Amino acid sequence: MSFVSEPAFDADDGSDEVELLLAQCLERAPQERSARLDELCSRHPTHSGELRRRWELLASMGLVEPAPADVDQFPAELGDFALLRRLGGGGMGVVFLARQRSLNREVALKLIRADQLYFPRARERFRREAEAVARLAHPGVVPIHQVGEERGVPFYAMEHVAGATLAKLLEALGGRAPDTLQGADLLAALRRELGDDFAPPPGSLFEASWTDACVRIARDVADALEHSHERGVLHRDIKPSNVMLTRDGRARLIDFGLTLLEGDSAQTRTGAQLGTLPYMAPEQVRGERVLDGRVDVYGLGVTLYELLALQLPFRGADAVQLQSAILEGRPPSLRARNRRVGAELETVCMVAIERDVSRRYASAALLRDDLEHLLARQPIRARAAGPFVRTLRFAERRPGLVAALAAGLLVAVATPTAFLLREQAHAGELGAALEKERAARGEAERERALRERDATPVP
């Protein structure tokens, strides 16, 4: 199933890409935003003027520096909902714990950020996110209860799930050696995050080994992704901060803010990037227009690698170096970073983050099935890249060395071959001469015999 990417910027003025760049600034802590603004202006000189103009507009309204808005301030109520506390948020939306008065239940209420209300594209992405989640009915996706708008602020209410994102849990486990971890360490980190000494049900992933716990998380997400892909929803931003782990040890997919719906008629120019760079598939990095479920498979593969190794597979000193590393597609050995990772688990992970989309898992279902096979201790279907593929990729990385080796090999092969041919020619000439000499001797013998016979007197 293929999808045509949503517009990343308008055909005339690039306004939507400016909105995305602005959102990247707003995602940073207030003290980091100015530096981020300078960095993005330097990287995107064609949009730097408009980006700074919009930043100044927000600053004049008191929403960003020099008088930044306090993102923890929020109204006491919004329609039927009493807002209790802020749960989290990003560049486009913010999520609150709220009580829905009419049904007397707690919900997670997501609102579009106040500073995004001025951008029509942001409203459209917010609407698309709500529509995407409303299409889905899967235990691995947090369901939507209600969608609406109050006082000009779009919102939707979701089931409130007690848990923490994998990003938070990985942060809590930072600095640990991954081969010393167990599922119980994940439970301890989740308890600290929730401030609750809860007891998970028997048989949860918290009782498993670290590798099995990671595989179970990835399996749950892969199953949710297959459900969403079947219903025409491409997530496009799979990463630890968009996966929540609940008290009962289930992984649930959240934040469809960059989702793409099948059948969207909007198109984007080649070169537009949407996603979070360390988890973006090579085709996303290249800005390809037509994408499919394999971009989500890739993001999940990177997430699984990070869970198992407590490190990302690709790094770079800056965005340009990171992009190059992703496109080159040579992740360090996972087993070298965690000795408890078996060969088959490493193969599954490497196939999921394969740079060549034709060699990657063709669907989330195939990845899910191999993860199930790992848990059942059954053979997987994926196969690691063979010697032929590895040789081709070495040639791509070191063309000069390969050319020199090829020339050397040619000399090494050609030189003895030339000597052999010369020897064979010489042997042929010698053989012909010997044969000629034998023939001459034979003729001489016959002539001598005839002379002797003629010389013998007849009685």
Give the span between the Cα atoms of 210 and 307, in whole angstroms. Answer: 9
SS3 368: helix
Length of the chain: 459
Q: Which helix (H) or strand (E) holds 197?
A: none
Per-residue burial over 365-377, b = 16 or more CB atoms within 10 Å of its CB, e = otherwise: bbbbbbbbbbeee
Q: What are the tokens at 39? A: 């960095």
How is 206-252 classified by DSSP, letter by letter?
A: GGSBHHHHHHHHHHHHHHHHHHHHHTTEE----SGGGEEEETTS-EE
Active-site residue, 237 included = yes
Sign, Cα dihedral of 272, 276, 277, 279:
negative
φ, ψ of residue 390 in degrees (nearest 5)? -65, -40
Is there a contact between 116 and 92 (Cβ–Cβ < 8 Å)? yes
Give the span between the Cα atoms of 383 and 257, in whole angstroms. Answer: 34
CA atoms lying within 13 Å on the CB side of residue 217: 32
Task: Tell which residue, 163, 204, 150, 152, has the closest CA to residue 182.
Answer: 204
Measured CA to CA in angstroms, residue 310 lies from 172, 174, 185, 301, 304 at distances of: 11, 7, 13, 13, 10
Give the span between the Cα atoms of 349 and 74, in whole angstroms. Answer: 42
Is there a contact between 274 and 8 (Cβ–Cβ < 8 Å)? yes
Active-site residue, selected from the candidate residues 237, 255, 369, 370: 237
**How many other C-beta atoms lie within 10 A of the C-beta of residue 196?**
10
Task: Tell which residue, 360, 239, 235, has the closest CA to residue 302.
Answer: 239
Q: What are the tokens at 42? A: 């330097």
Task: Tell which residue, 302, 384, 391, has the closest CA to residue 347.
Answer: 384
Residues designated catalytic: 237
